[in-house]
Structure 1
Amino acid sequence: MSEIIIRKAERADCNEIYKLICAIAEYEHMSDLVTGSVSDIEHLLFGSGVGRCLLACGRDKDGERVVGFALYFYNLSTFKCRAGIYLEDLFVYPEYRGRGIGKRLLKTLCGIAKDEGLGRMDWECLDWNQPSLDFYHSLGARDMDEWIHLRVDEADFDKLLGS
């Protein structure tokens, strides 16, 4: 790959985005949790308008190959009274790591946040994923140890609704 570009995903990229989702799920030992489909990704990014995606693409004489992505959505801070970015997934295929691609994806997201006047960017990292934690810390990200991540899954909605 002679050149790496960062660009916004297009509808035609949904198959590649789904492959990236499956690849990050495998890396995180969570492949069994992937239940969505390419059409679900298409709806999420281009139908509902909820999600956004940046792609890292390698270009050479043979064309373009997707090598990584940043999947994100907008959140908000009640304390700041401003919107922010929540980075759901950042992933670069292993054979393309160490070339600054992940950093470029994060810098592009930071640029979007700054240009749009957003207040912050949040994301999570698995506690065992030391290479990623080291990478994020090297860029100035800090742990939010005072917060505990909580979740209610779809399977628990009825239980909560009935309580």
Structure 2
Amino acid sequence: MAQITFRMAQPEDTALILHFIRGLAVYEKMEDQVVATEELLTEWLFEKQKAEVVIGEAAGKPVGFALFFHNFSTFLGRAGIYLEDLFVEPSERGKGYGKALLTHLAQLAVERGCGRLEWSCLDWNQPSIDFYLSMGAQRMDDWTTYRLTGDRLAELGRAE
């Protein structure tokens, strides 16, 4: 594996973070769903501090990122880390950077005393599924993700 270093993103990395998000969206065939802007990312990542970003660099250039936030397990009685996005530039894949990013997040979870590291993966994304399984991750087949967004979220949020 080529040498990779990690650093926590700073506000001046916002354009790079958006670049990685758009790259992930292209890979997932969801580019039409990206409405994030640099202004929104600055507000939510750096002003409100609702999520964190680790940037992986090799030979002095950014090669990937992981965006994550803390969740909480009532059963464990402690926080966990939820990995929202993991992305490595297509030209940099196969060099161990994805594994290094995931390992770095696991180390961060242990350092912070977290009880787990978890994430979601699209059902069709077999290369990523195979990668996660090779790292020892367990598929949570008995859980289904539900989501409210847009008009439905606003509607429910206005309910009394």
TM-score (norm. length: structure 2): 0.94
8 Å CA contact retained: 1:14, 1:42? yes
Which of 103, 123, 126 pairs up with 1:107? 103
CA RMSD of the aligned region, Å?
1.3
Which of 77, 82, 87 pairs up with 2:78? 82
Cα separation, 2, equivalents of 1:57 and 1:117: 26
Tell me, which stretches of 5 or more residues in structure 2 are unaligned? Answer: none
Cα gap change, 1:43 to 1:139, in 2 (>3 Å): same
Q: Deviations over 1:41-100 (max 9, x none)?
A: 1112111011100011122xxxx3211000000000011110000000000011101111
Q: Deviations over 1:101-159 (max 9, x none)?
A: 01111111111110111000110000111000000000000100000100011321243
Cα separation, 1, equivalents of 2:3 and 2:104: 16
SS in 1 for 2:94: coil
Paired residue total:
158
Identity %, equivalent residues? 43
Alignment of 1:134-149 (within 5 A): 134-149=130-145
Which of 114, 127, 147 pairs up with 1:118? 114
1:55 paired residue number: 55
TM-score (norm. length: structure 1): 0.92
Tell me, which stretches of 5 or more residues in structure 1 are unaligned? Answer: none
8 Å CA contact retained: 1:6, 1:104? no
In the alignment, residue 93 of structure 2 is paired with which amino acid?
R
8 Å CA contact retained: 1:4, 1:56? yes
SS in 2 for 1:125: coil
